[in-house]
Amino acid sequence: MSELPPDHNADDQPGPLNAFDEIIAEETTRDPDLAVIEAGSRTLRTQGGPPDADIPTRPADPEVDKALREVETELATRWGETKLEPSVSRIAALMDVLGEPQRSYPSIHITGTNGKTSTARMIEALLGAFELRTGRYTSPHVQSITERISLDGAPISPERFIETYQDIKPYVEMVDASQEYRLSFFEVLTGMAYAAFADAPADVAVVEVGMGGSWDATNVIDGDVAVVTPIDLDHTDRLGTTHAEIATEKAGIIKQGATVIMAQQPVDAAQVLLKKAVEVDATVAREGLEFGVVERQVAVGGQLVTLRGLGGEYPEVYLPLHGAHQAHNAAVALAAVEAFFGVGAQRADALDPDTVRKAFAAVASPGRLEVVRRSPTVVLDAAHNPAGARAAAEAIGEAFQFSRLIGVVGSSGDKNVRGLLEAFEPVFAEVVITQNSSHRAMDADELAGIAVEVFGEERVQVEPRLPDALEAAITLAEEEGEFAGGGVLVTGSVITVGEARLLLGRG
């Protein structure tokens, strides 16, 4: 929820950098918080690597594209995701007039600081492999607003997105008229997701919170399973300045009698979560105790892991994602699905291991250590806080073994950019500082000033335009020679990653 790529409509003109400039010029009147990055549909991956990511492009039909843009424009008039009023009263009122669609299916609710979307995708894949019809709601999107609402493992079509919006629009306006503040962008999208899942109908919803938990718009569901991915310091101006304060907000998704799947946490955060579980008579499964990662080894295009779930061990699971953090996300996702099926409570037997292996082998997580170009290799990662940056830095060193890595960093102004840069300092030979097209982007010169303090002036280059920054980084990586193993990591923001996809995702 903290990051949202801008919307751009790429054409087929030669020279993607020039085309990008034209797109930016055309979009100056639009709210960059409601844009859609038009990235290429082709990405280059290592052999045996991740499946093609489900990243939709703009609708081919001009009329559908026009209608989708009209919906985006209407949504742009609402509060963006960074302007919040901590209350669920408006979304609750919308659910009431819609007939409580979120009550028509069971749900798995996911909160935490990092890893939520990847974990949600893994849970979705596992449930789908066991022949359940899934609805998944995640944020932010990398390329298209339709990515946020998925059915059966794929984003809903633009036509269905438009239809869903038009169906609930009269009720949205009714709630707007009765409340002190209109429904926000995120609240309307949440209402659309819950309505779409009920209409499908979905057998189970996999729902990622936008921010926090207690007053997040998604928190009008009663999740049978509450998942808490690792908690760290992010959105401290809204959620609190300590792990315990942030955990207090996130614990709000733990409902009466639910099962809590808890990733490894700082001690003070774990204490808060366990206390809330006791208060609402919830059952807790903790990573490292009731479940976890038994073994992992790097494999071509990902890793091979042995996971211990609530019902036993699952050996030789191929996960086409890089990094120890993704292995831990996989353990959390597996335990969540086991809990949903009653493993460890109503039943003692494990899930079918072959089905589990098949599900994990099909997982993709766009913008998470995603390779989009070779020679030199360019990798995209949406890390935007220090914890995410530390995980990405460790993973890229393990999986790629670049002889020289050049960073391209463009961040939002409300982030702990110093902490992010410090996490990457040991792995970046040089860093190219830039900024994305969002109004929330940190000014390149301001970011560069912090980067010079972290890296030293001789290791910092400033290119305010992202196309120039990518070109400069690729040139620096190529100085190693064609076979020397230089690489580029683009990071700092989902917005930056989405725009880089536009420029580099065409193969």
pLDDT in tens, 184-211: 999 999 999 999 999 999 999 999 998 8
What region, left, alpha or beta, does residue 344 occupy, with left being phi > 0 and alpha being psi -120 to 50 degrees?
A: left
Q: What integer pLDDT is reported at residue 39 of this predicted model?
A: 31
Q: What integer pLDDT is reported at residue 262 of this predicted model?
A: 96
Q: What integer pLDDT is reported at residue 46 of this predicted model?
A: 29
Q: What integer pLDDT is reported at residue 158 of this predicted model?
A: 95
The residue ranges of DSSP E strands in 385-505, in sequence order, are 404-409, 430-433, 460-462, 486-491
Whole-number Å distance between alpha carbons of 431 and 462? 8
Do residues 192 and 207 touch, judged by C-beta distance below 8 A? no
Q: What integer pLDDT is reported at residue 103 of this predicted model?
A: 96
Q: What integer pLDDT is reported at residue 272 of this predicted model?
A: 94
Q: What integer pLDDT is reported at residue 10 of this predicted model?
A: 36
Residues of the chain predicted below pLDDT 50: 1-50, 506-507
Do residues 197 and 103 touch, judged by C-beta distance below 8 A? no
Q: What integer pLDDT is reported at residue 81 of this predicted model?
A: 64
Q: What integer pLDDT is reported at residue 426 of this predicted model?
A: 95
Q: What integer pLDDT is reported at residue 504 of this predicted model?
A: 81
Whole-number Å distance between alpha carbons of 232 and 116? 13
Q: What integer pLDDT is reported at residue 2 of this predicted model?
A: 36
Q: What integer pLDDT is reported at residue 35 of this predicted model?
A: 35
Q: What integer pLDDT is reported at residue 54 of this predicted model?
A: 59
Q: What integer pLDDT is reported at residue 41 of this predicted model?
A: 26
Contacts of 63 (CB under 8 A, 6+ apart): none
Q: What integer pLDDT is reported at residue 38 of this predicted model?
A: 31
Q: What integer pLDDT is reported at residue 438 of this predicted model?
A: 82
Q: What integer pLDDT is reported at residue 299 of this predicted model?
A: 92
Q: What integer pLDDT is reported at residue 236 of this predicted model?
A: 54
Whole-number Å distance between alpha carbons of 237 and 242? 11
Contacts of 294 (CB under 8 A, 6+ apart): 305, 306, 307, 308, 313
Q: What integer pLDDT is reported at residue 505 of this predicted model?
A: 67
Q: What integer pLDDT is reported at residue 58 of this predicted model?
A: 82
